[in-house]
Amino acid sequence: MVSSQQSHAVTPLFDRLWQTYSAMNPQAGAIHSLLLSRGEQIVNDHVAFRTFADERVGIDVLAAPFLELGYRPAESYRFEKKKLDARHFEHPDLSLPKVFISELRWRECSPVLQQIVSGLLDQVPERADGQPELCASGRPWNVTFREVTTLADESEYAGWMAAFGFCANHFTVLVNALETVSSLQELNQLIQLAGFPLNQEGGEIKGSPGEFLEQSSTLAPPVSVPFTDGEFPIPGCYYEFARRYPLPDGRLFSGFVTNSADKIFQSTDRRG
């Protein structure tokens, strides 16, 4: 059983993650404010993180602070084409957001990618494994824009991870909790009318009521990132929107759909 102290302790961590995330992604704050201006009480469905499959920084390391706060592993996922594994975690207090952590199986990639990623990981401080909040520690390595571009040419995920390090990749609005919007389609129209383009990969809405989950997301806007060879724009973070449907037993589906998540990942891909 989780203690109320554990449950209350979750909020400060998510508040810090949101502050960093919204500073990097002003569109999230603008959309958040737009919904608040309509009288909405925004419920966060899940927060997602990225990492490399490595004992120093892998899923288990990033999940550690959440486990200490009462979260428990729920389901695992595999994305063969992108060479990703993922796991999501849930808290007994269902009002708290789920946590989705993915990792790149970088040792299955090209020798060039392996060499660059290995060099990045060798810069991670020894203390990282014991940090209570590695997920909020930012980028612990020096990297060139050329290296980031080389990684992204093979794996957009690797390029993004090299550029930004450890932070929330996205937050997610739970559409079910909205009162002035009746569907994900309606929310998407509202978001686009406000001037925020959506990820169209695999369709504007990924998933379906039959899969018990519908998702959409903005396209990550570029942010200026300093590298050792200069400052360059890189697509940063995005805002996601999820509508969940009840299972036959009446419980709301709490997992994720691999085919949909695969397309959502592309919200941070370079464009143009």
DSSP-assigned states of every residue in 3-49: -HHHHHHHHHHHHHHHHHHHHH-HHHHHHHHHHHHTT----EEEEEE
Domain boundaries, the chain: 4-268
pLDDT digits (tens, 9 = 90+) for 190-231: 999 999 999 999 999 999 999 999 999 999 999 999 999 999
Beta strands in the chain (DSSP E): 44-52, 72-79, 84-90, 98-104, 170-174, 206-208, 213-217, 222-227, 230-235, 238-244
Token pair recorded at residue 72: 């428990």
pLDDT at 10: 78
Distance separating alpha carbons of residues 114 and 214, to the nearest angstrom: 35
98-104 and 44-52 as β-strands: parallel, antiparallel, unpaired? parallel
Distance separating alpha carbons of residues 233 and 182, to the nearest angstrom: 36
Residue 3 has pLDDT above 50, yes or no: no
Instruction: Give the CATH fold of the 4-268 domain.
Output: 2,3-Dihydroxybiphenyl 1,2-Dioxygenase; domain 1 (3.10.180)
pLDDT digits (tens, 9 = 90+) for 128-144: 454 558 899 999 999 99
CA distances from residue 160 to 233, 236, 243 in whole angstroms, order as listed: 11, 8, 27
Token pair recorded at residue 272: 């143009």
**In contact, 210 and 247? CB cutoff 8 Å:** no
Distance separating alpha carbons of residues 171 and 180, to the nearest angstrom: 20
pLDDT at 9: 60
Q: Which amino acid is at 172?
A: T
Length of the chain: 272
Lowest mean pLDDT segment, chosen from 28-37, 102-111, 126-135, 202-211: 126-135
229 backbone dihedrals φ, ψ, rounded to 5°: -110, 20
CA distances from residue 74 to 105, 134, 217, 254, 255 in whole angstroms, order as listed: 21, 21, 23, 9, 8
pLDDT digits (tens, 9 = 90+) for 63-78: 999 999 999 999 999 9
Distance separating alpha carbons of residues 163 and 80, to the nearest angstrom: 23
**In contact, 179 and 263? CB cutoff 8 Å:** no
pTM (predicted TM-score): 0.94
Q: How many CB atoms lie under 10 A from the CB of residue 212? A: 19
